[in-house]
């Protein structure tokens, strides 16, 4: 790190946080961009993310100025099954970003849904917000409609409520109720707060149940509702201010809701 960049160490915010705030990448991805020598500040190529930047610093990614800090925006997407949650897929499968109009610019997902899962997926243009929403400490519940092959019992669901360890991974308490039975299948409503990788599928398998459909219906206060498969809909700023709390209020603009 050169002298020009070093001058910014005592002010502003970390460079990885700035890159995340403008929607270039998550903080972790931003650190990789820096390690690859793709980020410069005031003409100096960064080699470490241990740098603070202020509003007057000139930041380039691959030689191009990064976007200005934008007001926070959030969208609801009804992810179909068979669509992967990634920007690029090595197997050339359809991704959720194929469903996003290019005019929205760089957006990122809040958490993930696996290939076979469907339902509500939140997207945002702010990496800080995406990370905050994903944290278990934020306390937002994720609710699912789950169809399983097998015969779930109240005793099984009681095990979920206490938390389970499967293949060495500890899963926190999961709320579940039986909604209906259809032949060899049963429909459950499942609510959890951690959202670890393939969590529902793994705990159900440990109980002798096989998930054959998984639909997320809510993420915190945001609901899937009647949003059609593959459709995208922006959450109005008024709703964001009401639901995200005071710490995000000043970063949510008053832009009008418009079709996407």
Distance CA 199, CA 169 (A): 10
Domains 3-65 and 141-219 in one fold:
no
pLDDT the model gives residue 254:
60
Structure tokens, 113: 């849904």
The pLDDT-based confidence of 139 (bands split at 50, 70, 90) is confident
The CATH number of the structural domain formed by 3-65 is 3.10.290.10
pLDDT digits (tens, 9 = 90+) for 26-42: 788 889 999 999 999 99
- Nearby residues of 232 by Cβ (< 8 Å), 6 or more positions away: 75, 76, 77, 99, 100, 101, 123, 260
The mean pLDDT value for 187-209 works out to 93
CB 222 within 8 A of CB 243: yes
Q: Where do the structural domains in the chain lie, given as residue ranges?
A: 3-65, 74-137+221-249, 141-219
Class of the CATH-defined domain 74-137+221-249: alpha beta
Distance CA 165, CA 168 (A): 6
Q: pTM for the full model?
A: 0.78
Q: Is the pLDDT of residue 6 over 50?
A: no
| Fold designation for 141-219 | Pseudouridine synthase (3.30.2350)
Structure tokens, 197: 């990788």
pLDDT the model gives residue 9:
43
pLDDT digits (tens, 9 = 90+) for 145-189: 999 999 999 999 999 999 999 999 999 999 999 999 999 999 999
Residue 128 annotated as catalytic: no
Which one of the listed residues 89, 114, 179, 233 is annotated catalytic? 114
- Residue 186 β-bridge partners: 148, 181
């Amino acid at each position: 790190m050169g002298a020009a960049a070093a001058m910014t160490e005592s002010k502003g915010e970390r460079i990885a946080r700035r890159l995340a705030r403008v929607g270039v990448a998550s903080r972790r991805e931003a650190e990789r961009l820096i390690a690859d020598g793709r980020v410069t500040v005031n003409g100096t190529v960064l080699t470490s993310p241990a740098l603070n930047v202020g509003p007057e610093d000139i930041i380039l990614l691959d030689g191009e100025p990064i976007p200005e800090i934008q007001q926070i925006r959030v969208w609801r997407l009804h992810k179909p099954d068979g669509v992967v949650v990634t920007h690029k897929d090595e197997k050339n499968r359809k991704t959720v970003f194929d469903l996003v109009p290019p005019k929205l610019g760089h957006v990122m997902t809040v958490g993930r849904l696996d290939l076979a899962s469907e339902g509500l997926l939140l997207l945002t243009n702010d990496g800080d917000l995406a990370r905050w929403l994903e944290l278990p400490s934020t306390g937002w519940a994720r609710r699912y409609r789950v169809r399983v092959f097998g015969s779930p019992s109240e005793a099984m669901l009681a095990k979920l409520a206490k938390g389970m360890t499967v293949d060495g991974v500890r899963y926190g308490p999961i709320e579940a109720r039986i909604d209906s039975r259809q032949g060899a299948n049963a429909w459950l409503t499942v609510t959890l707060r951690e959202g670890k990788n393939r969590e529902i599928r793994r705990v159900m398998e440990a109980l002798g149940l096989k998930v054959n459909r998984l639909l997320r219906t809510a993420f915190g206060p945001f609901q899937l509702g009647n949003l059609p498969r593959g459709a995208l809909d922006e959450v109005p700023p008024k709703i964001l201010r009401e639901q995200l709390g005071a710490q995000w209020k000043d970063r949510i603009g008053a832009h009008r809701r418009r079709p996407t």
